[in-house]
Amino acid sequence: MKLWGVTGWKNTGKTGLMERLVAEFTSRGLSVSTLKHAHHAFDVDQPGKDSFRHRQAGATEVLLASGARWALMAELRGAPEPSLDALLARLSPVDLVLVEGYKRSPHPKIEAYRAAAGQRLLAPDDPTIRAVASDSAHDLDRPVFDLDDTVGIAGFIARELSL
């Protein structure tokens, strides 16, 4: 599977860019999966639901299944957070995996940047960031795309990964 990341600080447009890239690559006939890193506790489950109750009771994994989808939730219960590689190994094979977050992992990435977020640009200090998608101009040693240029960004990623 080919792997590409979207990274950047909070509120810089990462999720919107991910959403547009998934739509663009799937419209090109590629199968795409996503993996997102959260820096905080999160819950995809609701208190009172059966699966929530199963997890609260101590289940290590809870798999929900229906005619439309299935989801597997795993509780770490104090174990260390799995590595990106360990998580990728759990995915079914696809043409492209887009990863949101994982700033410090060695896979190739594009940085989403919004000036209004008030954070410094990561790219100058990170060679794994191969391009920047921004709402402002930057003088860098790698390509800078308009944050909304989904087709151009997807074309760059496709060339980089030989898709």
pLDDT above 70 coverage of the chain, percent:
97
pLDDT for the residue numbered 134: 97
Is the pTM above the cut of 0.85?
yes
Residue 115 confidence class, pLDDT cut points 50, 70, 90: very high
For residue 129, the SS3 value is: strand
- Indicate if the pLDDT at residue 43 is higher than 80: no
- Indicate if the pLDDT at residue 42 is higher than 80: no
- Indicate if the pLDDT at residue 86 is higher than 90: yes
pLDDT for the residue numbered 25: 97
Q: How far is CA 59 from CA 41, 71, 72, 160, in A?
A: 17, 15, 12, 42
